[in-house]
Amino acid sequence: MDQGEQDYRLFLNGDEAALVRLIDAYKDGLMLYLNSFVSNLTVAEELTEDTFLKLVLKKPRFSARSGFKTWLYAIGRNLALDHLRRNKNAPAPLEDAAPFSADDADLEREYIQQETMRTLHRVMKELKPEYRQVLWLIYFEGFSCAQAGKIMKKSTHNTEMLVSRARRALKNQLIKEGFEYENF
């Protein structure tokens, strides 16, 4: 049993501090993942709040067929898809990446890293939403293909194929931007 599952079970048994631990542990990653759907950090933040609100109000049953984080992200994904169905407006542009925590002795390296991440996020914005989502889950959130597949409701094989196509599309976009793909 992972810490998320343990805290969720404690919350269901009345431990409010366990809910605070869940929110602290998962809110940032979930918000950034949901941003890959809606391309609006404010909306992603609201969807993240809605995800945790759903845990509080509806107390859905966690079946442990997947990890807690995978289950939580799937709930958030479903809320994001519902939001997109209700609001068929064009998405707002993805905001620049948050700055890295820097090594004060090497400001030039920090600047290059920040510019690289901004470019990466800008280029990812140009990819198909499904490509952005799978790349985000696997490379930024550290999910396996099987876990990402569960979140995206795809088989592991389909997810692996999607990752391959998404990486190829990202590589082509980076080359168009004048970057050498091997640096990423």
The answer to whether residue 101 is domain-embedded is no
Same domain, 134 and 71: no
Residue 153 has pLDDT above 90, yes or no: yes
Same domain, 75 and 117: no
Number of domains making up the chain: 2
79-100 pLDDT, tens digit each: 999 999 998 754 444 443 344 3
Q: Give 20-24's long-range contacts (Cβ < 8 A, gap of 24+).
A: 22/52, 22/55, 23/52
Between 159 and 64, the more confident residue is: 159
CA distance 74 to 89: 23
Same domain, 34 and 73: yes
Considering 57, 86, 115, which residue would you say is the last residue of a domain? 86
Same domain, 171 and 113: yes
Residue 181 has pLDDT above 80, yes or no: no
Question: What's the confidence (pLDDT) of residue 37?
Answer: 84
The CATH number covering residue 154 comes to 1.10.10.10
Same domain, 8 and 78: yes
Distance of CA 14 to the CA centre of its chain: 29
CA distance 33 to 135: 10
Which band of pLDDT confidence, cut at 50, 70 and 90, is reported for residue 110?
Answer: low
Question: What's the confidence (pLDDT) of residue 73?
Answer: 93
Same domain, 59 and 121: no
Same domain, 82 and 112: no
- The range of the structural domain enclosing residue 125 comes to 107-183
% of the chain residues with pLDDT over 90: 55
The answer to whether residue 173 is domain-embedded is yes
Residue 136 has pLDDT above 50, yes or no: yes
Distance of CA 95 to the CA centre of its chain: 14
CA distance 173 to 165: 12
